[in-house]
């Protein structure tokens, strides 16, 4: 009897010790999992290896109708996800007018480039010059010259090609791009810079943003203007105006249209030709858009040297004839005269006006207006987004100023531009409101911008992105100890182990408490029975 009584507690203690072993193991696993999770997180977030990726460079010459601008772009050379992250590192404006003005002396074009190209070379490490791609894209000015004198246009391009073949670059050619291409590339640039194609995730990786709408693009050049915006798949339009664009694995249906001869400079030539045509005297012409107390004399060739004014050329035209235009600063008459530059008529079978005989879908969503649009509103002391009433009142106020008052209003005073800002403002109003059908409600969705984070909004960046297949991508800014998929898998595994261990411990404590309660109940019952 004694031996049984003394041996029983030892047996029970051994059983209790054995039964606690899983709980101890679970507790140890839980603690270890917690330690591993904390350690991995600390290492991943605080032990990053900063990378200094090798840079690559690309040069685009934007050969516009009024000037040529050289853009130097750079991007890290490593590849990741086949995306491109490009920034503008230098910009240089070539002295003189656009390359289309060299029709009579194409051999002189390279001389104009020399100063800017020398400055660009200084921005690029010498050992990378040979691998730096150079592209030249000519726009509406050269498109007009090709219509007027195809031989001269070709000779200019050949002269440019010969020049770059002697330079230490990887020259990829000089070409005249179409108006539609110009619109597409401008749209790509605007959305690329505004982050609508790519954004950085938690791990500093570039990914496509979810649910981000694209932004329409409005470009006003010297000889043409472009409008481009994404539309739905089901839209009733001439198929030539709808372009399918695929970027970073996503497809977009894009409406894009370029209007030749509706650029700011060519529009003003047509405007001056129209004033001359309707003037009683052919030597002194009243211009209500020029500032009061201002007059200038222009040779006939300055107005009628373009296919855009061919139909308005006087019968007794002499390119050496001089016409004097006298400004009256009359905003109301200026607006009425500018409106006559546009031929709006109802689209066939549609109760809506057509711009230049072309129907387009209704504008919707945000737009960014750059190039000539930005420079004009900037002269009116406006920028960003504002109401249509604000634009109109600023236009009226500016157009009412005399010539002597303008130097105080304009930070950078240039006679050629200053005298024409009033015309440009009224022209933009009729183009956007009567042409593109922006209203008081949709006008505030237009953002007039010049650049985004020191990179110009211009078709040139989209052009290079397209020609280089969206540019080899940037690597993450840091190299993490574990790649994101490995890190996430490891975190998920140990989190799961920790949760299972915690669940086991909770269940064990619950069962132990219940068993202890049952044992106490049996013991109490036994004592009561004795």
DSSP string, 4-15: HHHHHHHHHHHH
Query: What pLDDT is attached to residue 528?
Result: 54
Cα–Cα–Cα angle for 418, 420, 423, nearest 5°? 140
User: Does residue 385 carry a pLDDT above 70?
Assistant: yes
* pLDDT above 70 coverage of the chain, percent: 80
Sorted by sequence, the CB contacts under 8 Å of residue 511 that are 6+ apart come out as none
**Tokens 């943003």, residue?**
209
Which residues are within 8 A (CB) of 343 and not within 5 positions of it... i.e. 6 or more apart? 356, 357
Residue 287 tokens read as: 């211009």
Q: What percent of the chain has pLDDT over 90?
A: 57
CA distance 361 to 346: 14
Which stretches of 347-467 are DSSP H helices? 372-379, 388-399, 406-409, 415-418, 421-429, 459-467
pLDDT tier, 183 (very low <50, low <70, confident <90, very high otherwise): very high
426 pLDDT exceeds 90? yes
Closest Cα to residue 501, out of 148, 35, 74? 35
CB atoms within 10 A of CB 268: 20
What is the pLDDT at residue 494?
72
Tokens of 421: 């800002």
What's the CA gap between 343 and 61, in Å, rounded? Answer: 34
215 pLDDT more than 60: yes
Reading the block at residue 306, the tokens are 């373009």
Q: What is the pLDDT of residues 92-105, one digit of tens each?
A: 999 999 999 999 99
* pLDDT grade for 6, boundaries at 50, 70 and 90: very low
Give CA–CA dist 340/286, Å, rounded: 16
Contact between 394 and 331 (Cβ < 8 Å): no
Biggest alpha carbon distance in the chain? 142
Using pLDDT thresholds of 50, 70 and 90, give the confidence band for residue 419: very high
Average pLDDT, the chain: 83
Q: What pLDDT, on the 0 to 100 scale, is given for residue 242?
A: 85
Secondary structure letter of residue 226 according to DSSP: E
* Angstrom distance (rounded) from CA 117 to CA 145: 25
For the cut 50, the answer to whether the pLDDT of residue 79 exceeds it is no
pLDDT at residue 485 is higher than 70: no
pLDDT grade for 166, boundaries at 50, 70 and 90: very high
Match 């709808």 to its residue by tokens: 242
Residue 189 confidence class, pLDDT cut points 50, 70, 90: very high
Between β-strands 250-260 and 242-247, what pairing exists: parallel, antiparallel or unpaired? antiparallel
Strand partners, 61: 70, 136
At residue 517, what are phi and psi to the nearest 5 degrees? -60, -40
The first and second tokens of residue 307, run together, are: 């296919």
Do residues 230 and 191 lie in contact, with contact meaning Cβ atoms separated by under 8 Å? no
- 363 is written with which tokens? 């504008």
252 pLDDT more than 60: yes
For position 51, what pLDDT does the model report? 40
Q: Give the residue with greater pLDDT, 171 vs 26.
A: 171
Q: What value does the CA radius of gyration of the chain take, rounded to a whole number of Å?
A: 36
What is the band of 91 on the pLDDT scale with cuts at 50, 70, 90?
very high
Question: Would you state the pLDDT for residue 27?
Answer: 74
Q: Sorting pLDDT into bands at 50, 70 and 90, what band is 393? A: very high
pLDDT tens digits, residue range 266-281? 999 999 999 999 998 8
Q: Nearest CA to 133 among 91, 160, 164, 99?
A: 164
Tens-place pLDDT, residues 432-445: 998 899 999 999 99
- Global pTM reads 0.77
DSSP 281: S
Question: Looking at 280-289, 385-394, 432-441, 495-504, which range is the least confident one?
Answer: 495-504
pLDDT at 460: 95
319-356 per-position pLDDT tens digit: 899 999 999 999 999 999 999 998 776 566 565 657 77
Return all residues near 407 (Cβ < 8 A) that are at least 6 apart: 413, 418
Dist. CA 397–CA 96, nearest whole Å:
32
Residues annotated as catalytic are 182
Same fold, 55-212+452-479 and 264-448: yes
The predicted pLDDT at position 15 comes to 43
Superfamily of domain covering 264-448:
Exopolyphosphatase. Domain 2 (3.30.420.150)
Sign of CA dihedral 305, 311, 315, 321: negative
State the pLDDT at residue 401: 96
Q: Cα 128 vs. chain centroid, distance in angstroms?
A: 27
* Element (DSSP H or E) covering residue 245: strand 242-247
Distance CA 279, CA 181 (A): 39
**Confidence category of residue 471, pLDDT binned at 50, 70, 90:** very low
Asked if residue 243 lies in contact with residue 184, where contact means CB atoms within 8 angstroms, the answer is yes
Run of H or E including 490: helix 484-529
If pLDDT is split at 50, 70 and 90, which confidence band does 421 have? very high
Tell which wins on pLDDT, 392 or 3: 392
Helix axes 372-379, 421-429, angle to 10 degrees: 120
Whether the predicted pLDDT of 255 surpasses 80: yes
Q: Which of 162-176, 340-354, 456-470 is least confident? A: 340-354
- pLDDT at residue number 5: 41
Domain locations in the chain as residue ranges: 21-48+481-529, 55-212+452-479, 264-448
User: Where is pLDDT greater, at 36 or 370?
Assistant: 370
Checking if the pLDDT of 84 tops 90, the result is no
Give 78: exposed, middle or buried? Use CB within 10 Å, 0-12, 13-18, 19+. middle
CATH of region 55-212+452-479, choose from 1.10.287.130, 1.20.1740.10, 3.30.420.40, 3.10.580.10: 3.30.420.40
Look at residue 124 and give its three-state secondary structure: coil
Quick count: other Cβ atoms within 10 Å of Cβ 335? 21
CA–CA distance, 213 with 231 (Å, rounded to integer): 11
- Contact of 198 with 208, CB cutoff 8 Å: yes
Residue 346 pLDDT: 58
């Amino acid at each position: 009897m004694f031996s049984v009584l003394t041996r029983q507690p030892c047996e029970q203690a051994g059983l209790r010790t054995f039964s606690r072993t899983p709980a101890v193991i679970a507790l140890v696993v839980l603690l270890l999992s917690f330690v591993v999770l904390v350690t991995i997180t600390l290492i991943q977030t605080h032990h990053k290896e900063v990378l200094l990726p090798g840079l690559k460079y690309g040069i685009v010459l934007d050969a516009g109708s009024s000037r040529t601008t050289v853009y130097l772009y750079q991007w890290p050379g490593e590849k990741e996800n086949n995306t491109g992250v490009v920034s503008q590192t230098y910009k240089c404006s070539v002295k003189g007018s656009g390359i289309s003005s060299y029709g009579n002396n194409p051999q002189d074009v390279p001389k104009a480039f020399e100063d800017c190209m020398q400055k660009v070379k200084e921005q690029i490490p010498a050992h990378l010059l040979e691998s730096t791609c150079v592209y030249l894209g000519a726009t509406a000015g050269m498109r007009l010259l090709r219509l007027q004198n195809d031989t001269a246009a070709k000779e200019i391009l050949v002269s440019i090609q010969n020049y770059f073949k002697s330079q230490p670059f990887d020259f990829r050619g000089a070409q005249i791009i179409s108006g539609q291409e110009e619109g597409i590339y401008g749209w790509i640039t605007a959305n690329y810079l505004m982050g609508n194609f790519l954004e950085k995730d938690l791990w500093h990786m570039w990914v496509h943003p979810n649910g981000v709408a694209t932004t329409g693009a409005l470009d006003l050049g010297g000889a043409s203007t472009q409008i481009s915006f994404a539309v739905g798949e089901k839209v009733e339009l001439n198929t030539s105006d709808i372009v399918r664009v695929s970027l970073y694995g996503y497809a977009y249906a894009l409406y894009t249209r370029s209007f030749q001869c509706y650029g700011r400079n060519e529009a003003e030539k047509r405007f001056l030709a129209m004033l001359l045509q309707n003037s009683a005297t052919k030597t002194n012409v009243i211009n209500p858009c020029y500032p009061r107390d201002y007059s200038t004399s222009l040779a006939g060739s300055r107005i009628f040297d373009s296919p855009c004014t061919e139909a308005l050329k006087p019968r007794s035209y002499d390119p050496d004839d001089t016409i004097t235009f006298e400004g009256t600063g009359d905003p109301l008459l200026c607006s009425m005269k500018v409106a006559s530059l546009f031929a709006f008529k109802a689209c066939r079978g549609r109760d809506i006006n057509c711009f230049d005989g072309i129907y387009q879908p209704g504008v919707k969503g945000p737009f960014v207006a750059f190039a000539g649009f930005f420079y004009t509103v900037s002269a009116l002391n406006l920028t960003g987004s504002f109401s249509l009433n604000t634009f109109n009142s600023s236009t009226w106020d500016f157009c009412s100023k005399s010539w002597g008052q303008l130097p105080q209003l304009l930070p950078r005073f240039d006679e050629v531009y200053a005298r024409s800002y009033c015309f440009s403002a009224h022209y933009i109003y009729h183009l956007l409101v009567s042409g593109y059908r922006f209203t008081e409600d949709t006008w505030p969705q237009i953002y007039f911008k010049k650049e985004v984070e020191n990179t110009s909004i211009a078709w040139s960046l989209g052009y290079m992105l397209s020609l280089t297949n969206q540019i080899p991508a940037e690597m993450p800014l840091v190299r993490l100890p574990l790649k994101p998929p490995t890190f996430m898998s490891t975190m998920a595994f140990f989190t799961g182990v920790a949760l299972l261990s915690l669940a086991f411990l909770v269940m064990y404590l619950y069962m132990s408490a219940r068993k202890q309660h049952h044992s106490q109940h049996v013991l109490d019952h036994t004592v009561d029975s004795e």
